[in-house]
Structure 1
Amino acid sequence: MKRSGYILVSLMLFTSHFSQAITTDEELLQTENTVLQGFIKRQVKQSMSVGRAVGSITSHYPNEVETIVATSLDMYPNDFKEIIHAAISAQPNATSKIVEIAIKKNVASCPNIVELAIEADPSYVDFVVGAAANSNPDELKDIVRVAVLTEPDSADTIVQTLTSEHPNELVDILTSAIQAVPVVGEYVVNALLAVFPHEAEAVVTTAVRESAQQREQISKIIETAHQAGLDSADIKRYAMDAGMTEEEYSAAVKHKNQDQ
């Protein structure tokens, strides 16, 4: 992580530490940490809230968000919710870095941090899930599940972002999204077919299989596949490979046509 620049120089000008002889990088690092911690403590005391203090500091020093958040989480780990929410709300452009820092500090589970970050600013959901998945790829399924549950209206963006960065996990990502919120099936299928048309078989087969108990959703998925330009015979084959019978497929197509 980069070291703080302007904020620390400004603060050190008002402390006795700056006049001391600092001969090593380690001593400089310790001095910077001491100065910043003191500054944060004063701000917290004045505002009577860790969240308000972090929000105020990051608003005034946008280039130092990483250092401020990292130091604040070290000082007040039990207030991680306030810190994450305040920092993202004040500096949404730094969402990815804030999420990465929170995960690295291990202040909460990765899915929990994802939920907090999305709630702080839903418009940056793709940055949140991208940063979380890159930091904790082993928890990809849970990241998808929590993200889609927290912001279902952005399910297509969530799936598209994660699949673009982790193409080998397409089936797991799609499965997790539909299992979390079944009604997003048609939207995530549309998003994936737009980016991965060559993966049409995996996308349609997985979506139909995971929507087996949702006949209306299967009809919408079939219609989405048609609109994406897939051949009718291929769509039928993918659906039947997912477990549909001839009668079930015909019923789904009939239901689709009745809705048009």
Structure 2
Amino acid sequence: MNKLIYSALFLAMTANPVLAEEAENNSNTETADFIQRQVQQNMSIGRAIKSIVSHYPQDVEVVVGTALDLYPEHYKEVIHAAISAQPALTEDVVRIAIEKGITSCTNIVETAINAEPSYVDFVVNAAAHSTPDELNDIVRVAVVTEPNSADSIVRSVAKAHPNKLVDIIRTAMEAVPFVGEYIVETLLAAYPESADQVVTTAVQESGSHRQNLQRILETARSAGLSDEMLTQYALQGGATQEEITAILAKQGHEEEN
């Protein structure tokens, strides 16, 4: 299979456009035939793709792309199998699937995260790079699918899209409110100069979840923000003076003891 693909690539780089087109068509046909034979032998699309990608990781683009063309209704199996076989190629698999347009970006994100949760940052960044207009939906699906990595997801996306910091925090906390304190902790460590935006937005999104508000303020205080700054940011976020005073007083009392 490698010889076929590399021969096709070599011909495609020649000056003769007719030969290049024929080579590409032949390569696509041979790849499709090869995948279909593997599916028949393995009696499973997933097992076939996992086997092929395991043996030919350098050809992941043509293999996954062709498989998605052949079996678009089985995109979950194709994506899951390819990522399971070669987790390091997660970003490439996500990009290829999105470019094929076989389903929504968020479906691809969810499938890819489920296949390899530890590569969630790569999934989110690949999706956000390919479809920046869907950034909020990507963040929402990612934190819902893998809430334990919410802080990492938000930090990673914020690094790539710093001008969207407020939207990223808001989207993540709307989807999973209890992750607010972890988001605040990681963002204050990464972006101390944005403490105003981070704390104010987190307080706003804590809404009626007063326990979340308490944890957010306690986390921000532990990160080094003064009571004056916390009071200012929390008030901007919609908390009352009474709530803020009670929370800060309680934490101060606990620290003394």
Please give the TM-score of this superposition, normalised by the length of structure 1: 0.90
The answer to whether residue 135 in structure 2 is matched with residue 140 in structure 1 is yes
Aligned pair partner of 1:32 in 23, 27, 32: 27
- How far does the alpha carbon of each residue in 1:220-259 deviate from its partner, in whole angstroms, 9 at most, with x for none? 1111111211122011100001111111212332454577
Q: 1:177-256, aligned counterparts within 5 Å?
A: 177-256=172-251
How far, CA to CA, are the matches of 1:108 and 1:259 in structure 2? Answer: 52
SS state at 2:224 partner:
coil
How far did residue 168 of structure 1 move? 0.4
Aligned pair partner of 1:90 in 82, 85, 89: 85
- State the Cα RMSD in Å: 1.9
Is the Cα–Cα contact under 8 Å of residues 4 and 27 in structure 2 kept in the other structure? no
Is the Cα–Cα contact under 8 Å of residues 204 and 239 in structure 1 kept in the other structure? yes
Is the Cα–Cα contact under 8 Å of residues 219 and 255 in structure 1 kept in the other structure? no
How far, CA to CA, are the matches of 2:196 and 2:186 in structure 1? Answer: 14
- How far does the alpha carbon of each residue in 1:99-140 deviate from its partner, in whole angstroms, 9 at most, with x for none? 011111111111111000000000000000000011111111
- The size of the alignment, in residue pairs, is 247
How far, CA to CA, are the matches of 1:258 and 1:145 in structure 2? Answer: 37
Please give the TM-score of this superposition, normalised by the length of structure 2: 0.91
How far did residue 6 of structure 1 move? 4.4
How far did residue 195 of structure 1 move? 1.2
How far, CA to CA, are the matches of 1:254 and 1:185 in structure 2? Answer: 21
Is the Cα–Cα contact under 8 Å of residues 8 and 35 in structure 1 kept in the other structure? no
How far, CA to CA, are the matches of 2:102 and 2:61 in structure 1? Answer: 15
What amino acid maps onto 1:161 in structure 2?
S
Q: Percent identity between the aligned chains?
A: 53
SS state at 2:207 partner:
coil
What amino acid maps onto 2:191 in structure 1?
F
SS state at 2:103 partner:
coil
Is the Cα–Cα contact under 8 Å of residues 118 and 125 in structure 1 kept in the other structure? yes
